[in-house]
Amino acid sequence: MKALDIAERYVALQKAPWSSTVQKDDLKEVRAALSLPDPEGAEAVVWRPIETAPRDSSAFLAYRRGQVANASCLVRDDGEMWSFGNQSGHRDVFPEIVPTHWMPLPPSPYAARSAAYQGKEA
């Protein structure tokens, strides 16, 4: 089931009268589908432990002490270099810079618009 189909079904079920257990079960199924990874390969949008973050300088969203910011990590011969928001530094010198959780960046609005223009789903 594609994300748009799931969202449309969810909206329809929210507006339906609550006279049937079947409708409530359908709503539970849709809510469960919304929390699962896209069956066509998109990653689930959940916070992951920082130990699983990319270490190749790829950008991702990160969480640390109540803050969310763009972050990246690069492994060098002398250790890990981290960036979090407008801060950057070596893990051994500035251990407080390392976030606790991360998630992939969402696709850019331009990518979604471009895919729609070409007749593809983002």
113 domain-assigned: no
Q: For residue 75, is it within any domain? A: yes
Are 23 and 65 within one domain? Answer: no
Q: What is the average pLDDT score of the chain? A: 77
Q: Give how many domains the chain has, as a whole number.
A: 2
Q: Specify whether 94 is located in the same domain as 62.
A: yes
Residue 71 resides in a domain: yes
Domain residues for the domain of 21 are 3-34
Judgement on whether residues 96 and 54 belong to the same structural domain of the protein:
yes
CA triple 108-82-58, angle to 5 deg: 30
| Residue 42 included in any domain | no
Task: Give per-residue pLDDT as tens, 39-81.
Answer: 445 555 789 999 999 999 999 999 999 999 999 999 999 999 9
| 17 pLDDT higher than 80 | no
Q: Is residue 115 part of a domain?
A: no
3-state per-residue secondary structure call for the chain: CCHHHHHHHHHHHHHCCCCCHHHHHHHHHHHHHHCCCCCCCCCCCCCEEHHHCCCECCCEEEEECCEEEEEEEEEECCEEEEEECCEEEECCCCHHHCCCEEECCCCCHHHHHHHHHCCCCC
pLDDT of residue 110: 73
**101: nearest Cα among 49, 28, 31:** 49
